[in-house]
Every structure is written in C-alpha cells, then in structure tokens.
Amino acid sequence: MAIDRADDGDTPARLPERPADVDRASSLDAGESAAEHARYRARVESYGAASDAWVQALPGLEAAWQRHVERYPERERPTPRTQPDGSWEAGETRKLTPEQNTEVDRGIARIREVGENVIVPGMCAVEGEDASRCLAGFDNRFKGEDRLKEKVADQLRSNIDLTPTQALATVADAVRFTLQYAGTAYTGGVRKDVERLQANGFTEVERRNTWMSDQYRGINSRWREPESGVIFEVQFHTQASLEAKELTHKAYERIRSTAEDPELAELKEFQRGVNSMIPIPPDVADIEDYPPGET
C-alpha cells in the first residue's frame, strides 16, 4: 500500500507551542513552571534527535528486507476468481458458495455506500479542523473486495454457525483511515481527534496503544457509525511509524500465514529491529486503551 508522506519532516525548525495538556502554568509557581518547560523542551529535543536517527537508518532497514526476500522468495498467492455458477474461491481452502458470494456482495455494497455517504464526509470534516496533520493513504480507504472475501471465507471455515453477513461484520477495517501527525504534536493531536470523531457522531468501540510494543508501534482504534452499525478503523501514526508499518507489512503477513522457522524467527527479529528505531512521541504512554483496563 502506498503512503502519502508529509512534505516536511517530523522535526520542527523551532520548538512547537506546548500542547494544552502540558501547559499547566496557571497551577504552578514560577520555579515549577520553568522546570516543566525545561522537561518538555528536553523531550522535544530528544524526539528530534531520534527522528534524525530514523531517517539515517531507514535505507539500511529497507535493504535488509530486500536481502530477506532474496533468501526467502515470496510465495505466490492464489488468484481469487468468481466461477461461472456465481461461487467464489481463492485457492483450495477459501471458498464461498453462490449464495454466500451474493450475500457478501450485498454486504460490501452496503458498507461502501455508508462509507462514501456518511463515514468519509465525517472523516474529512475531522481532518479539516486542523491543517497540521493529514489523512494519509486516503485512496486505500476501502479494503479490496477479494481481500474481504478471503477474510469472510476464513471466518466461515472456522465458525460454521456464522452467516456471511455476520462474518463480514467481523472485519473491522473494511473501511479504514490513517491520521498522520508531526511527532511532537502527536499525543495532543490524537486526544483532540478522538474528541472530534465523537463530536461528529461516531462511537468509539476500541482503542489500543501499542507504542511500547516491539512488533508494531502506533495507536489503532475502531469506531461505529451508529445509524448503520458499520465499523471502521482509524489508525494514528507519525510519519516514521507509518513508514515502519509499511516496511514491515509483508513481514507481518508472512508471520500470520505461512512462515516457519528459521524464517519466522528472522521476521520477528526484523520487526523488532525496525520498531526499535522509531522515535517515540513525547508523553504517548499517557494515552490509555479503550475500554480502560482491557488488553
């Protein structure tokens, strides 16, 4: 998946204004206020140094992945196809009957209608409230039809009691968005955008902060459009964490599917190596999961 990169890097030319959740001068005396500002300045400068290190490391990480692919060529994926009788298949195990395929087609059409007419305008309204960040990869806001059918077929195979409609409803990223921030503005920006999504009528279902993970760094959330019940995904990234996600996506897919040792161990080590280089935004650990206390 291609990504849209911001024209400017994450490191600002000068220190940004302190976010509202950091500016507590009204409740601090002069000495405490100066110390708070010094701590914030140190966090911003540390992030800038880490960002420079990421930019320098990225070409080497990309080269490391190419070397891995040369050692372990990618296995060919079965070509999805609709058969003359209306059934659908992708390989020997992923299959939908004509009736199942028709039901899934109707469900996909409904999701995309709600997406285009309700969810996309709402997300664009959220984006328009702050020009300092953007919706990245907007052209990929709908998961491909065959990829959705693969996921539905997997669900139906593992749970025979599900209907195709119910199986499709388990796919949380049939409609998906990514908001990309400058790193020093990330934590405050995510908090404000969660509030903006709620103000635009969307219901938060789940939020997971995995910035401390060694396999994936970012914040992923799921939201519901209340009238239709359609679930969609919003990811919150910095430019560096989005670049890392795109770089490690093939490794992630292999880990989840066909990889075996010794490749499996190498894939996990590659992901750890990439994620260890991502600059961590100031105060990002303060963003809690939702619902609270769940993992």
CB under 8 Å to 227, separation ≥6 — which residues?
A: 118
Q: CATH number for the domain including 198?
A: 3.30.460.10
Residue at 19 is within a domain: no
Residue-wise pLDDT for 106-125, tens only, equals 999 999 999 999 999 999 99
Residue at 9 is within a domain: no
Give how far the C-alpha of residue 202 lies from the chain's centroid of Cα atoms, to the nearest Å: 18
Q: What is the pLDDT of residue 41?
A: 75
Residue at 113 is within a domain: yes
Residue-wise pLDDT for 182-229, tens only, equals 989 999 999 999 999 999 999 999 999 999 999 999 999 999 999 999
Tell me how far apart the alpha carbons of residues 184 and 48 are, in angstroms, rounded to a whole number: 8
Q: What is the pLDDT of residue 74?
A: 87
Specify the number of domains making up the chain.
Answer: 1
Residue at 48 is within a domain: yes
Question: In which domain, by residue range, is 231 found?
Answer: 31-286
Which residue ranges of the chain lie beneath pLDDT 70? 1-28, 36, 40, 294-295
Residue at 1 is within a domain: no
Residue at 278 is within a domain: yes
Q: What is the pLDDT of residue 112?
A: 98
Beta strand ranges found along 120-202 (DSSP E): 134-136, 176-181
Residue-wise pLDDT for 121-139, tens only, equals 999 999 999 999 999 999 9
Tell me how far apart the alpha carbons of residues 253 and 262 are, in angstroms, rounded to a whole number: 16
Cβ(285)–Cβ(212) below 8 Å: yes
Q: What is the pLDDT of residue 295?
A: 54
Residue at 23 is within a domain: no
Tell me how far apart the alpha carbons of residues 146 and 88 are, in angstroms, rounded to a whole number: 9
Residue at 267 is within a domain: yes
Tell me how far apart the alpha carbons of residues 31 and 40 are, in angstroms, rounded to a whole number: 14
